Amino acid sequence: MLASFSVLAAAEVSKQLPAPVSHSVVSVNLFDPHGKPSGAGSGVVVARNQVITSCFLIQKAKDIEVAQPGATFKAALQYALPDLDLCQLDVPHLPAAAAAAGTATKVKIGQYAFAAGARGRQEPAQSKVVVSGMRPYAGSQYMQLTPSIPAHFSGGGVFDEKGRLIGILSLRFIDGQNFTFALPVEWLAELENRRSAGSSGKVSGGLDWLNHALAQERQHDWIELLKISQHQLTHDPTDAVAWFSVGVASGNLKLYNQAVHAYREAIRHQADYGEAWHNLGNAYASLKEYDHAIHAYRDALLIEPDNDDTWYGLGNVYYDLKQYAYAIDAYSKALRIQPENPKAWYNLGVTYDDLGLHGEAAEAYQQTVRIQPDNAEAWHHLGVAYARLGERRKVREIYQTLRKLSPAKAESYFNSYILP
């Protein structure tokens, strides 16, 4: 049986900021009409005397100050792009270096990044986060991050492993939970074309529904995701992202024909939507329409040739068709892109087993259990491969491991391969 287990990534906290990040992240302090503190968040220096932050953060503030260790500066709203939640502050005499710009267009789900924020005049802090969700939007990739970060990080920066800015943090409270989103750095260019009328206004438009959609997806509330995505389509039937979300919800509700229709509509309105092509392949595969699935996966790879998940899905289709050589090729390409993919290693092992290549299968299962040492299914398959290779000592060693992980599986293994 091919792998269906999932990979979980734990978040970590980074204790030290790279110097370029530390110098470019500032605190943003807010005051009401009476001069009393009304909130606080963060911002990122993007040019001389210019700080980017979240419009949602500052929308009700009468006055704004920007702080860094040892100094505070008056700030004023310069440009606003409220529909995309981006506001630029003018901060005269701010002695801070601008953040180095990266790109959000190449970010992948599962990728680690660093969220940075500041409080008052304290040194900025940084937390390691994972890109857990993503949608193409307004020319870049709108990102969801996990785990949730402290409230004062809102408006701060998201940086890649080289300390380059890839997004601006936007925190939202949705359905009783905190969610962290990242506004891609590519959107900053739009600010120069949008002068503020003197107020940041209320954030509205596309991001509101999209934030709720990503929140429902994270909570696996597929019925609610379907509902709000279909509602968005009543406002804009050409919204490729809304069609994509209908596909995601439908697929998880096992409404695969509906998912196929939704992904096809997403592609109709955005032909280069690589993830929609990928998910269309998944939906066709679930319907066992393998020729259509292969076509969709191949088109996805024309757009994103380094997408290991697409190569993995293509490998599964070829396996189901018993085209094992093609399956091995697809799994191998997935593993060249992402060597730590336990599902691809496991399914590669299963494919080799079906070909009677038990030595190669054992090597693949070894990689699986290296990455997932608690994967009893992979340990069992490794033990079976060793039994077929006549390696009795290793067969007994794996029995001891299985006893700790799955007594029932260990008992079956014992009766079949140790004392049949």
Q: Pairing mode, if any, of strands 63-68 and 71-81? A: antiparallel
Residues 6+ away with beta carbon under 8 Å from 212: 174, 228
The contacts of residue 360 (CB under 8 Å, 6+ apart) are 349, 352
Q: Which candidate, 98, 87, 105, places its Cα nearest to that of 48?
A: 98
Residue 190, pLDDT score: 80
Up-side HSE of residue 122: CA atoms within 13 Å toward CB?
A: 13
Q: Is residue 329 part of a domain?
A: no
In a domain, 405, yes or no: no
Which residue range is the domain that position 86 belongs to? 19-90
Question: What is the number of domains present in the chain?
Answer: 1
Chunk the chain into consecutive blocks of 10 residues (it has 420) and report each block's average pLDDT, rounded to whole numbers: 44 50 89 92 95 93 93 93 92 92 92 93 91 92 93 95 95 90 93 54 64 94 98 96 98 98 98 97 98 99 96 99 98 97 98 98 98 97 96 95 95 88
**Cβ(4)–Cβ(34) below 8 Å:** no
Specify if 45 maps to a domain: yes
d(CA 38, CA 30): 5
Task: Give the CATH number, domain containing residue 34.
Answer: 2.40.10.10
Please, what is the angle between helix 324-337 and helix 342-354, to 10°? 160
In a domain, 39, yes or no: yes
What would the two tokens of residue 9 be? 């990534």
Residue 41 lies in a domain: yes
Other C-beta atoms lying within 10 Å of the C-beta of residue 189? 11
Which residues are within 8 A (CB) of 393 and not within 5 positions of it... i.e. 6 or more apart? none
Is the CB of residue 109 less than 8 Å from the CB of residue 131?
yes
Query: How, if at all, do strands 37-47 and 50-54 pair?
Result: antiparallel
117 assigned to some structural domain = no
Q: Is residue 23 part of a domain?
A: yes
CA distance 137 to 102: 17
CA distance 184 to 173: 20
Instruction: Answer yes or no: is 84 within a domain.
Output: yes
- The phi and psi torsions of 404 (rounded to 5 degrees) equal -80, -35
**CA torsion through residues 88, 90, 96, 100, sign:** positive
- Nearest one of 123, 170, 135 to 26, comparing CA atoms: 123
